[in-house]
Structure 1
Amino acid sequence: MWLQLALTGLGVAVIPLCIVFLSKETNKHRKLIAVTLTLTFELIMFGAFTRLTDSGLGCPDWPGCYGQANPLLSHEAIKAAEVAMPHGPVTTQKAWIEMVHRYLAMSVGVLICAQVLLAWMRKKTTDISPWLTTSALLCVCVQGAFGAWTVTLKLQPVIVTTHLLLGMGLLALLAAVLEQHSHQIKHVSSMAPNVAKALILPATFALILLFIQVALGGWVSTNYAALACQDYPLCHGQVVPTMDFEHGFSLWRQLGMTTNGEYLPFPALVAIHWLHRNFALLVIVVVSYVAWQAMRTPGFESLGNKLLLAIVLQFLIGVSTIFFSWPLLLAVLHNGGAAMLVLLLTMLNYRVRHASHALSSPI
Structure 2
Amino acid sequence: MGGWIDWNPALEVALVGALVALLPLLWVLVKGRREGLQGWPAWQRALTLATLFLTLDLVVFGAFTRLTDSGLGCPDWPGCYGHHSPVGARSLIDQAQALLPSGPITHGKAWIEMIHRYLASGVGALIAGLMVAAWWGRRRIGSLSPWWPTLTFVWVCAQGAFGAFTVTLKLYPLVVTGHLLGGLLGVGLLTAQARVMDAANPTRTGAWRRSSLRAWALAVLVLAVVQMALGGWVSTNSAVLACSEVPLCQGQWWPAMDFETGFRLLRPLGGDGLGAQITLAGLTAIHMVHRLAAVVVLLAMVALAWGLWRARHWRREAVGLWALATWQLLTGLSNVVLGWPLVAALGHTLGAALLVWWLVRLLVQPRAAPFSPRSS
Question: Using a 3 Å threshold, how does the CA distance of structure 1 residues 11 and 243 change in structure 2: closer, same or farther?
Answer: same
1:87 pairs, out of 102, 126, 129, with 102
Q: Aligned AA for 1:129?
A: S
Length-normalised TM-score, structure 2: 0.91
Q: Deviations over 1:251-283 (max 9, x none)?
A: 011000011111111100000011001100100
Distance across 1 between alignment mates of 2:283 and 2:243? 9
Pick one of 218, 235, 244 that aligns with 2:232. Answer: 218
| RMSD between superposed Cα atoms in Å | 1.8
1:37 corresponds to: 52
Q: Does 2:85 match 1:65?
A: no
SS at match of 2:82: coil
State whether residues 55 and 123 of structure 2, in contact with CA within 8 Å, keep that contact through their aligned partners in structure 1: yes
Residues 14-23 or 146-155, more deviating: 14-23
Cα separation, 2, equivalents of 1:70 and 1:133: 30
| Structure 2 partner of 1:274 | 288
Q: Which residue of 2 aligns with 1:113?
A: 128
Q: How big is the shift at 1:219?
A: 0.2
Answering whether residue 22 of structure 2 is matched by residue 7 of structure 1, we say no
Look up the match of 1:50: 65
Tell me how far apart the structure 1 counterparts of residues 225 and 184 of structure 2 sit (CA, whole Å).
8
Shift of 1:193: 4.9
* Separation in 2, partners of 1:312, 1:102: 32
Q: For 1:79-134, what per-residue CA distance to the aligned partner results, in whole angstroms no more than 9, with x for missing partners? A: 00011222210000000000000000000001111111222222222353221221
2:4 paired residue number: none
Amino acid at match of 2:306: W
Query: Cα distance, 1:3 vs. partner?
Result: 2.4
Counterpart of 2:28, as a letter, is: V
Contact 2:321 2:358 (8 Å CA) reproduced: yes
Q: In 1, are the aligned partners of 2:258 and 2:285 still within 8 Å (CA)?
A: yes
Of residues 293, 303, 327 in structure 2, which corresponds to 1:313?
327
Tell me which amino acid in the other structure corresponds to 2:305: A
Aligned equivalents of 2:341, 2:208: Cα separation in 1: 48
| Match of residue 244 from structure 2 | 230
Task: Give me the whole-angstrom Cα distance separating, in 2, the residues matched to 1:276 and 1:354.
Answer: 37
Q: Distance in 2 between matches of 1:333 and 1:173?
A: 22
2:315 and 2:201 map into 1 onto residues whose CA distance is: 11
Match of 1:100 among 94, 115, 120: 115
Runs of 4 or more, structure 1, over 6 Å off, are none
Amino acid at match of 1:200: R
Structure 1 Cα separation of the partners of residues 201 and 358 of structure 2: 14
Quote the residue 2:373 is aligned against.
none
Who is 1:169 aligned against? Answer: 185
Name the CA distance, whole Å, in 2 between partners of 1:347 and 1:262. 45
The equivalent of 1:361 in structure 2 is none
Change in 2 beyond 3 A, CA 1:16/1:53:
same
Q: Please list, as runs of the form range in 1=range in 2, the aligned pairs for 1:326-337 lying within 5 A after superposition.
A: 326-337=340-351
Q: Note the C-alpha offset of 1:238.
A: 1.6
Tell me, yes or no, if structure 1 residue 200 matches structure 2 residue 214.
yes
Indicate how the Cα distance of structure 1 residues 190 and 269 shifts in structure 2: closer, same or farther if over 3 A, else same: closer
Matched, 1:134 2:142: no
**SS at structure 2 position matched to 1:316:** helix
1:221-260 aligned within 5 A: 221-260=235-274
Q: Which runs of 5+ in 1 are unaligned?
A: 359-363
Shift, 1:190, TM fit: 7.5
The residue type equivalent to 1:100 in the other structure is: I
Percent identity over the alignment is: 44
Matching residue's letter, 1:151: V
The whole-number CA distance in structure 2 between the counterparts of 1:193 and 1:98 is 44
Is this contact kept in 1: 2:196–2:367, CA < 8 A?
no
Aligned residue for 1:106, secondary structure, equals: helix
Equivalent residues of 2:200, 2:367 under 8 A apart: no
How many residues matched?
354
C-alpha distance in 1 between matches for 2:148 and 2:218: 18
- Cα distance in 2 for partners of 1:299, 1:183 equals 16
Whether contact under 8 Å (1:146, 1:163) holds in the other structure is yes
SS at match of 1:227: helix
Paired with 2:49 and 2:239, the residues of 1 have a C-alpha distance of 35
Task: State how far apart, in whole Å, the 1-side matches of 2:206 and 2:364 are.
Answer: 18
